[in-house]
Amino acid sequence: MMEKVTDRFLRYVQIDTQSDEEGTGTPTTAKQHELARLLVEELTKMGAEEITYDKEHCYVYASIPATEGMEGKPVMGFISHMDTSPAVSGANVRPQIITAYDGEDIVLNSGLGIVMKTADFPELKEYQGKSLIVTDGTTLLGADDKAGVAEIMTMAEYLLSHRDVPHGKLRIGFTPDEEVGAGADHFDVKLFSADCAYTVDGGKLGELEYENFNAAGARVTFHGRSVHPGDAKNKMKNALLTAMEFQGMLPVSENPMYTEKYEGFYHLDALNGDIERAVADYIIRDHSREKFEQKKALFEKAGAFLNEKYGEGTVEIELKDSYYNMKEIIEDHMELIDHAMEAMREAGVEPVVVPIRGGTDGARLSYMGLPCPNLCTGGHNFHGRFEYICIESMEAVVRILLNLARG
């Protein structure tokens, strides 16, 4: 009997696979190997072929062989990432199942008074009568992207145990460090050897994505000069105040709190320091390549202005592109979008094409020669304590994957 996608998901989220933005190797945290080893074990037991475990970099690859007469079909891949976001702890996850959800506020943790309110998350009401998996309010859930992992694994088990279902050769890939922008760093596209692929790393059921942000990360270092406050006039240079001045030069409206859909932003992710030295970490995002380049230029211009005002070397900017909008690649492979929409409708799900306000491994893989749009997982509120996923949505995603596999 095929294991339920819910059972897999609940098992996977018990494993802490949080990646680390400050990590220097791949994977950025060794604990991601624990889930990788489990997946290799499960793939072996279910009869997958060509299983490869990159023990150095923590990638897992496997194949589902084509059924008789289908060997000539293009090879399709399915990819998800094993790590969870550094934003909130992924250790000691205690998932809770809410059956026949009543559409009201959900008490996640009565002892700590943590409640997920419909006033804050109105889309909850769409799931009245369905079953939800939620957190205990102290950690993230890990649906991003262990839901995708569980859905792909459930699809794989079904096809390997039902050889009467016709399909071409399928490739499966699980990556580390997607949440810190490094998921594709050591992905072996040649070894994967697929003609196309889908990442299963999206949100609400029905969402289909082939446009993502162009993305850059920046570290801005501000250098100051500490002098006793009583004798500081015309001598002190406060690095923290310079950092605040720099932030004030960026457009107020181009902030994640005020943007949606195709609107880009500057996001101050962290600020640490003192009078002598302060360090600010930013991310810069925009779907439009032209606007993306304009944002980076304004960022550099703000630093140059402050250096002219306070002296050369006051502001140092390290700016690096992370990934680009896969739309530029996928536009030449729109049959992938058509097939996904058809697979969704066959599963009783109405597709909704939306831009990704973020990125996926698929964005970088598309530029590495593997066209790779993104499919939904059914999850909501990723990277936080109020993350949740609908069980019926996960089951529907498995049906979508099976429909795609059958082609």
Six-digit token string for 105: 């506020």
188 three-class SS: coil
Give the span between the Cα atoms of 388 and 130, in whole angstroms.
12
DSSP letter string, 218-253: EEEEEE-B---GGG-TTT-B-HHHHHHHHHHTS-TT
Query: Strand 114-116 and strand 76-81: pairing?
Result: unpaired
Catalytic residues: 83, 178
Give the span between the Cα atoms of 160 and 235, in whole angstroms.
73
Q: Which helix (H) or strand (E) holds 196?
A: strand 196-200
DSSP letter string, 46-60: HT-EEEEEETTTTEE
**Neighbouring C-beta atoms of residue 176, cutoff 10 Å:** 30
Cα–Cα distances in Å, from 233 out to 192, 226, 229, 243?
A: 63, 11, 8, 19
Asked whether the bond before 351 is cis by omega within 30 degrees of 0, the reply is: no
Beta-carbon-side half-sphere exposure of residue 265 (alpha carbons within 13 Å):
19
Distance of CA 258 to the CA centre of its chain: 21
| Inter-residue contact 111 to 46 (CB < 8 Å) | no
Distance of CA 19 to the CA centre of its chain: 12
| Inter-residue contact 36 to 12 (CB < 8 Å) | no
